[in-house]
Each structure stands twice: as structure tokens, then as C-alpha cells.
Amino acid sequence: MASASKPVATKKKRVSKPRSRIKHDDILEMFVKLADDRPNPETELEYNSPFTLVVAVALSAQATDVGVNKATRVLFAHADTPEKMLELGEEGVAKYIKTIGLWRNKAKNVVALSKMIIDDFGGEVPQTREELVKLPGVGRKTANVVLNEVFGQPTIAVDTHIFRVSNRTGLAPGNNPDQVEDLLERVVPDTFKKGAHHWLILHGRYTCVARKPKCGECVIYDLCKFKEKTA
């Protein structure tokens, strides 16, 4: 009787992680220049507490910071705590945010996250990503913004601006925000991690803009790997 043939072992393909196209020393120089250009970077969303920042960032999805600020100035004048927001209710919140995209669903989430903060976290905004993403309407990006801005944690929230800048410059190329975030966390020098989120987002918002980047005004022009520079 013929012996059974042994199964052929197959080698598992090693999936290589994306790597920066910029050398370590040049990355360091890049952030030195970005920091010199904007010494005190901060979010352009208006807030006065961890709670109001959570709400503002949750409202900012598919909306501009300018548009969100116009709405929240009035909203927060009436409700700037979870308790007041819950008392205001969905219809009350909706009344103030109708100028923002997806306002119906956002009003529902704002009230629901307010209730959860009260019921599950004693009225205080949680300080871990794992807890923050449990809040309705709060994803990883929102959680990272809150952790960085009000709790001083070196997180990087990858939005469309940071995704674009990271890929264009070659700093942290990736096919999706998670890949870019993972690579940024590995390559950004520790001394610049606290401000990296703001430097990159502001650079993308005002200099490395989507349609026609302002390369002639770029402080990291000489370090950038973008092939289609405009200057």
C-alpha cells in the first residue's frame, strides 16, 4: 500500500509595514522647521472643557472648524456640561447645529454620549482611548484629538489633512489612516509627538493644500519627497 504523501509546507508571506521615505535626521529637521513656523500649535475648534471639546470634535466630522465654531458658540452658551446637554435633549441640540452636516444624527449622538458620560463615567470625560471610543459618535480620530489636546497624551489623529501631508511628503505613507497613524507613532521623534498632530494638520490646512499645494511657502520644501511640487 502506498504511503500517504506528506502535505507540502507553504511559506507564509511576510507583510512588510509601510516605511518612511525620509531619513531619521531629516524627520527631526522637518519637525524643527514646522515647530519654528508655528511655535504654539493648537486646535482651531473652540472649547472650554474636555466635554465641550468631545462634542466639538464629534460635530466636526464632514464639517469645517469654522462652521462648527459658529454652531457651538450658541450651543455651549446653553449647554456646556453633560447634564445640561442631556436636559436640552435631541430637539434642543438639533436647533443649534442645523447648519452642520448630518446634524440629526449628530444631535442624537451628542445627547447619547452625554448620558453615557454621566451614567458610566461619573460625569467626567474618560482619559483612555478604549473608554472614549465607547461614546456614541466618538471614533478613534476624535478620541486621539481629545487625548492630545486636553490630556496631553502624544496621540496623532489622522484626518484628511494629515493623511495627505504624510503621504505627499513621504513622512508616513500608508493606504489608510490606521497605517499612517501607526507609522507616524513610530517615526515622529519623541520630543515632537505632543505637537505633531497640530503641526501636520495646520500644514495641510494652510500650506500643503489638496488641489494646489503652496510649495513656494513651504518650510519643509527641501525635505519633502512630493514629485509634483509647484515651485
Cite the annotated binding site for [4Fe-4S] cluster by residue number.
208, 215, 218, 224
Q: Which amino acids are annotated as binding site, given as ranges?
A: 208, 215, 218, 224
What is the per-residue burial (b if ≥16 Cβ within 10 Å, else e) of 25-57? ebbbebbebbbebeeebebebebeebbbbbbbb
| Cβ–Cβ < 8 Å for 165, 204 | yes
Name the DSSP class of 159: -
Is 141 annotated as catalytic?
Answer: yes
Please pick, among 159, 190, 193, 222, the residue that the annotation labels catalytic: 159
Tell me the longest C-alpha to C-alpha distance in the chain.
87
Q: Catalytic residue among 106, 120, 141, 222, which?
A: 141
178 tagged catalytic: no
CB-side neighbour CA atoms (13 Å) of 185: 14
Give the SS3 label for residue 135.
coil
Positions annotated as catalytic residues are: 141, 159
